Structure 1
Amino acid sequence: MFGMGKKDGGAEKEEAERKRIEATMVSIDSGFDHLRHHAEAGNTERSEAAAKRLVESLKNPKLPPPYTKDRRNAVDAFLLHAYMKATALACKRAIDAGMIDDIEKRSENIKKAREFLAGAVKYKAPPDFKRQCERMLEVATFSGGVKAKGPTKAKPLDTAPKVKDRAKHYDPNEETEEKPVIPQNLKI
């Protein structure tokens, strides 16, 4: 009787261990949903934190090796996507700030875009993406700060009085300095 209980106890332990591994895998998969949402939003800080938690969970030696390898590759892919999205958004904000002549905001967004681009390159971003971002940052750098807000030496303030355009219409009730003369003896 005692021997049978030990066998059942061993099977129960194996079953409990299998259930723990399955629960860990479900937890990891739900963590990927959070990581996906953060990556789609371009939020690199939260993506890094979620990725760190997932990598810690994947260090469990009882997880199947193909599963852990696949999930580690997926973590890197999501982090790459997060950094690429954040870089693109920062470049767009920099260009928009340049268009409205907000030089400080433009410089701040260019700095952020360069930081995010470095993170994207760290996670093996394609070379085309890097070239495209460099072009966008160049456009942002050269945009804004060109148009003067007030009068300049080349275009001074126009203080001359406006001249009425009398060639287009004639209003007899309008008072003018001289009235046109209409001949009375014309026969039509």
Structure 2
Amino acid sequence: MFGRSDKNNEKAEAEARRVEAMKASIEGALTHLKSHAEAGNTDRCEAAAKRLVESLKNPKLPTDYSRQARGVLDSLLLHGFMKATALAAKGALDAAKTDDIELRSKKIKEAREKLAGAMKYKAPAEFKGQCERLLEVAMLSGGVKQKGPTKAKPLDTTPKVENRAKMSGEALAAQDQAKAEQAKAAAAAAAAPKSRVPG
């Protein structure tokens, strides 16, 4: 009689240790998932979430714990998709500012995909509205300025005139002195006797 109860206690303790080990593993996976969500890496977030969902299906885990862990998992996935959407929208705006039309289009497409994922995980409606406005601004920006000369604005080849009105008196005197020295050197070179080569 006593031996049987000891075995039952050992089995119960071993089972409790296994459950605690599973909980610790799930907590570690959630921490790992949080780092991916902070970086906006949705592919890794979804892969990690898939493994976590399989772990949470274990019937030995308490239902309250499973429900709470799923709530944390969903909130982390939502955060990851919202972060990825914001990063892609900012990338689209930056590309539009630098007139990189191809990158702008790529980032807009990426932002729309990430926004759809964020809405799947119940992102707020205000977030969707803000992202749509940002993407619209990005679509309407860039691609307007022509690089280089055009027919309306040809290349300006005229020499630039010094603005002597804004020069200080010392700078003006130094400039006049330099011109005078150049003129003296030119006059001296012209007046110097030409060397005769005996014929």
Alignment of 1:62-81 (within 5 A): 62-81=60-79
Which ranges of 4 or more aligned residues in structure 1 deviate by more than 2 Å?
159-175
Q: What are the Cα deviations for residues 82-115 of structure 1, in whole angstroms up to 9, with x where unaligned? A: 0000000001111111111111111111110000
Are residues 10 and 151 of structure 1, via their aligned partners in 2, closer, same or farther at CA, if it must alter by over 3 Å? same
What is aligned with 1:151? Answer: 149
The more displaced of 142-151 and 152-161 is 152-161
TM-score for both structures, normalised by structure 1: 0.86
TM-score for both structures, normalised by structure 2: 0.81
Give the C-alpha shift of residue 166 in structure 1: 6.0
Tell me, yes or no, if structure 1 residue 122 matches structure 2 residue 120.
yes
Are residues 165 and 58 of structure 1, via their aligned partners in 2, closer, same or farther at CA, if it must alter by over 3 Å? closer
Counterpart-to-counterpart distance in 1, 2:142 and 2:82? 25
Structure 1, unmatched stretches of 5+, are 176-188
Counterpart-to-counterpart distance in 2, 1:165 and 1:16? 90
- Which structure has the highest helix share of the two? 2
Alignment of 1:45-56 (within 5 A): 45-56=43-54
Matched to 1:64, the amino acid is: P
Alignment of 1:73-152 (within 5 A): 73-152=71-150
Matched to 1:95, the amino acid is: L
Give the C-alpha shift of residue 167 in structure 1: 5.9
What is aligned with 2:179? Answer: 174
Q: Among all aligned residue pairs of Structure 1 and Structure 2, give the percentage whose two residues are the same amino acid.
A: 63
What is aligned with 2:6? Answer: 8
Give the C-alpha shift of residue 159 in structure 1: 2.7
Structure 2, unmatched stretches of 5+, are 167-171, 181-199
Q: What are the Cα deviations for residues 108-127 of structure 1, in whole angstroms up to 9, with x where unaligned? A: 11110000000000000001
Give the C-alpha shift of residue 160 in structure 1: 3.2
What is aligned with 1:59? Answer: 57
Counterpart-to-counterpart distance in 1, 2:131 and 2:40? 15
Give the C-alpha shift of residue 4 in structure 1: 2.4
Give the C-alpha shift of residue 6 in structure 1: 1.9
Matched to 1:111, the amino acid is: K
Paired residues in the alignment total: 173
The more displaced of 142-151 and 161-170 is 161-170
